[in-house]
Amino acid sequence: MKETFSIVDGNSLIHRAFHALPILNTTSGVYTNAVHGFFGMLFKVMKEERPGYCAVAFDEHGPTFRHTVYPEYKAGRQETPPELRPQFPLIRELLKAMHIGVYSLEGYEADDLLGTFSKKADAQGLRALLLTGDRDALQL
């Protein structure tokens, strides 16, 4: 059986976790519901799949090449809730402390990186396991 490379769409899982769990915060007021949900999903996959490699891809704030082609791209998308915003850097910091690769690239979205990583994994003889809630990834 091929060794597995787990490739995570960080933004997708964080948003999913944030909306799935009630607002939680520490006694000092730090919001943590997305943190708890994200790592709960990640640890479940790690336990069940036992990947040899893992990377988490994130969207960069700002326009992508898609905005150049189609200016209305994501025009109707709602703002990120203020309770969610501070959880992104906290999750990135925890991932780095766990020695899990954190990747992003200006002008591209996380799902672009998922596609690139999955193609490279296949070329290296690895099984690519994509962890995302984004239906665009079904084509990958």
pTM: 0.87
Residue 80 is predicted with a pLDDT of 86
Residue 72 is predicted with a pLDDT of 61
Find, among 103, 109, 91, the residue nearest to 42 by Cα.
Answer: 91
Instruction: Give the chain's residues under pLDDT 70.
Output: 62-67, 69-77, 136-140
The 10 Å CB-count burial string (b at 16+, else e) for 74-111 is: eeeeeeeeeebeebbeebbeebeeeebebbbeeebbbb
Helix and strand element counts for the chain (H, E):
5, 4
Q: What is the dihedral of CA 94, 86, 130, 17, to 10 degrees?
A: 110
Residue 65 is predicted with a pLDDT of 61
Residues 122-133: pLDDT tens digits? Answer: 999 999 999 998
